[in-house]
Each structure stands twice: as structure tokens, then as C-alpha cells.
Amino acid sequence: MEFIQDLLTYGFLQKALITSIMVGIICGIIGSFIVLRGMALMGDAISHAVLPGVAISYMLGISYFYGAVFTGVLTAFSIGAISQNSRIKNDSSIGIVFSAFFALGIILITQAKSATDLTQILFGNVLSVRSSDMWLTLIVGAIVILVVVLFFKELLVSSFDETMAAAYGLKTRLIHYAIMFLLTLVTVASLQTVGVILVVSLLITPASTAYLLTNRLSVMVVLAAFFGALSSITGLYFSFLYNMPSGPVIALTATAIFMLAFLFSPKQGIVVGMFRKKFKRKSITGATN
Amino acid sequence: MIHPITVNNISVSYDGHEVVKDVSFSFGSGSLIGVLGPNGAGKSTLMKAMLGLIHKDHGEVKIGSETVDSMRKKIAYVPQRSNIDWNFPIVVKDTVLLGTYPKIGLLRRPRKADKEWAMECLRQVGMESFANRQIGELSGGQQQRVFLARALAQKADYFFLDEPFVGIDVSSEEIIIGILREMQANGKVIFVVHHDLSKVKKYFDGLILINKELIDAGPTNKVFQSSNMAKAYNREFMIDGLEVSM
């Protein structure tokens, strides 16, 4: 209750709330496609690889948005280039590229001695969200939602059966890089809320939770967005009341929701599955009697 | 108008090894063609190369006088079952509905008529009562029938099926071959990657026999000879009923 009072009182808290809800939503949406395409590691890679871009932007005195998007996209292309032009497998080329970018980012950040502290970029500080950050997040959110709504059909078919999609003439490689680009935008928009290190949790965990609960992609995307938003609001709450870094709280909340689905999902849940087995056994013995 | 498909000198290599070597053939309207050969003969690779899904070293594919790229909306492809993620969050009727996507085009959604057409295709393969099941809850034969329904939904003229008869039950196989026969009677051109030699004569009126390079292609009676088979499979072959003329 006190929290709601404060929300109404403090402008910075309102900005933080709006931003974290949007971040949760778009991470859930893009995360759904990342999970289904088996690109979880790619999500982790892109989020780490925006770091040098952030550093360079500070040095040049431009918005961190440009630099981050640049290095994010560069990472996606570098990974593609290595795995397509050598015998190195995709997951290894992801490991090679993103660790290099991340390392470079850390060196640049410490050299830049920027006003923004490294921990804040790494772990997020949702309370430091400024108006410009909020608008950036809202614009990115609008783009992501618009693209996914407009091209939902193409995203669905190319995620499910890429060969069929290519056979009827969809540009599946273009779709892959478009998703990488959206992923980069989402990562950049999430920087302040969850931080570089834990963006992957908001990308993968809510989407995986949703994956356990439905047999329809559209429902999965909506559920993932909902769980994402719920996680980031909780992150904000604890961050404000107990002065905790928002990223880790968000990650743990997302995990708690996932555990609930993992144990109790009607179709996939472990506990439900055990009950069902027991019930089955009973009904079988009942039948023989 | 359904045109003949002509393949001229296709070669494909992986890591410097040629896996399909200078393959040429041509089949006209109303053909049901088996693509035959031992494991690793490059059957699926040939099919993917024909569709322009993988890089060709050289060679070309023509449909009538057109390129494959300009005819894509007329082409339906059914992948090997093992290439599909059966845990994907999609139900049977929506899987078939994917077949209507090429004609719907960008920025538009499937309408009621598209959904009804998808259900009609599902009825043709006898799977309408499974419409709301998640695709992983089906048997192999049922899954294959759903994917055939998706191909039907595409209203295509040229069909490419990669190993549709692997690991499926007898009744599904009969339903599928019945539909393929009907499509053939309607003038469609259908390529089927296949490896069960016992039913070759019964199923296909044309054959492409390969083992990296083309052994022979043409009418089944001409291609399905002991000498050809021995060449393809590198061993002696006795083909039951080979002497029986069709």
C-alpha cells in the first residue's frame, strides 16, 4: 500500500514502473521466439555484446542506444560469419564472439571512467531511469510489438518449419537477422532495468514458463509478456523498498514463477504428472478387480 | 497449366565432397516419381537442391520455361518427420493452416475461408477429429497425414515429399498413397524420397535412381531393373516380380 502511495508521489518511481512493465513485455515477446528457435545462448551473447557499444557511446558523448545497437548487430553477423564459413559449430562461435565483445566492453568501460558505474550497467538499477530512457523503451516496445503483430504469420512458420518457409519463398535468413536486430533493441531497452548480465533471464525464463502452459504460439507470447511484466514489477518493488539491485530480483522472480509452472502445469507439471500416474494406476487396478 | 520439371546437370558438395554429381532428368505433368537410392546417396540433398534450398555447384532446374524461384507459390514441400520440433506450441488445425500462408501473403491474416479450407484438407486425410490436438500427441502416421494436409492446403502443382512413409502405420500409408495417386490423376507432379524397395512398382510410375551420381531416371519399368539396382546399391539384386510386366 505504501508502495502505491509512493508511486503516486514520486515521478521517478512512475517512470521506473512504466519502463519495467514495457521491458518485461517485450522481453517476453521476443524471448518466446528465441526459446522456440533454440537461440537462448544467442540471447545471452547479444546482451553481453552490447557492452563495448555502451562504452564507446559514453566516450563519444552520444546516446548509448546507437553504440549498443551497433555492437549488438555486429555480434550477430560475426557469429553467423564464423559458423557459416568454418567447421566451428554455432554454440562455439557464439562463445568465442560474445566473450571477446564482453571483455572489450569491460576494458573500455573502466578506461572511460564514465559517470555511470559498471555495476549499474551489469546488474541494472531501475530507479535511475530518466525520462529519455523511458521514452526509448516505449519506442522500442512499440516497434517490437508492431513488428511481431504484423509479421506474426511469418515468424510462426519460419520458427516452426524453416525449410517449408524457405520452399515457399520466405526470406528465412532475413527473418533470422530481423529477430537478432529486435533482440538487440530489446536488450538495449532493458539495460537499465535488468542489466547486461541478467537480460537473458527475462528473455528466456518467462517465455519458458509460458511454453509449459500452452499449445498455441499466440497464447505463449501473451503469457510470456505477462510473466515478464510481473517479474519486472516485483523487481522494482524490492529494489525500491529494500534497496536491492533490480536485475537479480527480477531474475529470481521469473525463476520462482517458472518453478510453479514446472511443478504444477496441468500438462507438463512434475507434480501433476505424478498424481496422474497414481490415478491411472488406481483406475487400472480398479478395472482388474 | 502444369509444366514438366527439368533438371540439368545438378551438382552439390559439402566440405569439398560431391554428394550429388551431375544429375539430370525430366518429368511431365501427371507424374508420381520415387527418388530412390541407398542411405547417403543424396536423395534429400537432391530434393533440397531442386528447390534451391541449398547451394548448387552448378546446374539448373526449370519448371516449363520458368525458374523455381518464380514458381514457389506453386510448390509444396513436406520435410522429413525427424526435422520437425514436435514439441512446438501448435495444434493440428493451425499446422494445416500454415499451408494457406503463401497465398495469403504478407501483412494479412488467415480468414474464415482459409480456416475452412484447412479443415477440408484435414478431412481429406481423415484427421479432422484431431484438429485441436498438439502435434506431438499424434502417432507418426497421423503426423505425416497432417503434413500432407498442409501440402494440400497450399493448392500447389508441384509436390516434394521427403521420406513420407518412414515409421508410419499401414492405414496411414494407404491413405497417403491414395491421395498422391489422386493428385497424380489431376496432373500434379509429385516427387517422393523413398527407400522401401518392396513397394516401388506399386507406388511410382517414374523413378530417379541415384547413388551420388544418377544411375537412371525414367519410367519405373525401365529404371527398376536388377542391373540398375545392383549399380546403385553395389550388390546383387533379385527383384520380386521384376519379370511381371506392368
Instruction: Kindly list the residues from chain A whose CB atom is less than 8 angstroms away from the CB atom of residue B96.
Output: none
The top-scoring range by mean pLDDT among A152-166, A243-257, B193-207 is: A152-166
Cβ–Cβ contact A214 with B under 8 A: yes
One DSSP character per residue, A23-42 reads HHHHHHHHHHHHHHTT-HHH
Cβ–Cβ contact A128 with B under 8 A: no
Q: How far is A283 from chain B (nearest CA, A)?
A: 22
- Provide the b/e sequence for B88-98 (b: ≥16 CB within 10 Å): bbbbbbbbbbb
Residue in A with minimal Cα distance to B109: A153
Q: How far is A188 from chain B (nearest CA, A)?
A: 27
* pLDDT over 50 (residue A289): no
B residues 3-62 lying closer than 8 A (beta carbon) to A: 15, 48, 51, 53
Give the gyration radius of chain A's Cα atoms.
21
Residue B186's nearest CA partner among B162, B208, B156 is: B156
**A149 pLDDT tier (thresholds 50, 70, 90):** very high
**B244 pLDDT tier (thresholds 50, 70, 90):** very low
Q: Which of B53, B73, B101 sits opposite A157 (nearest CB)?
A: B101
Prediction ipTM score = 0.92
Using one digit for the tens of pLDDT, what is the confidence trace for A70-100?
Answer: 999 999 999 989 988 888 998 999 999 999 9
Whole-number pLDDT of residue A115: 56
What's B84's DSSP letter? S
Using one digit for the tens of pLDDT, what is the confidence trace for A23-69?
Answer: 999 999 999 999 999 999 988 999 999 999 988 988 888 888 899 99
Whole-number pLDDT of residue B239: 63
Cβ–Cβ contact B74 with A under 8 A: no
Mean pLDDT of the B45-58 span: 95
Whole-number pLDDT of residue B8: 96
Sign of CA pseudo-dihedral A260, A263, A269, A273? negative
Instruction: Kindly list the residues from chain A whose CB atom is less than 8 angstroms away from the CB atom of residue B98.
Output: 156-157, 160-161, 164
CA distance A34 to A162: 14
Whole-number pLDDT of residue B198: 87
Record the pTM: 0.91
Q: What percent of chain A has pLDDT over 70?
A: 94
Residue in B with minimal Cα distance to A149: B107
Contact call for A163 and B48, based on CB within 8 A: yes
First-residue to last-residue Cα distance in chain B: 29
CA distance B72 to B53: 11
Residue in A with minimal Cα distance to B102: A168
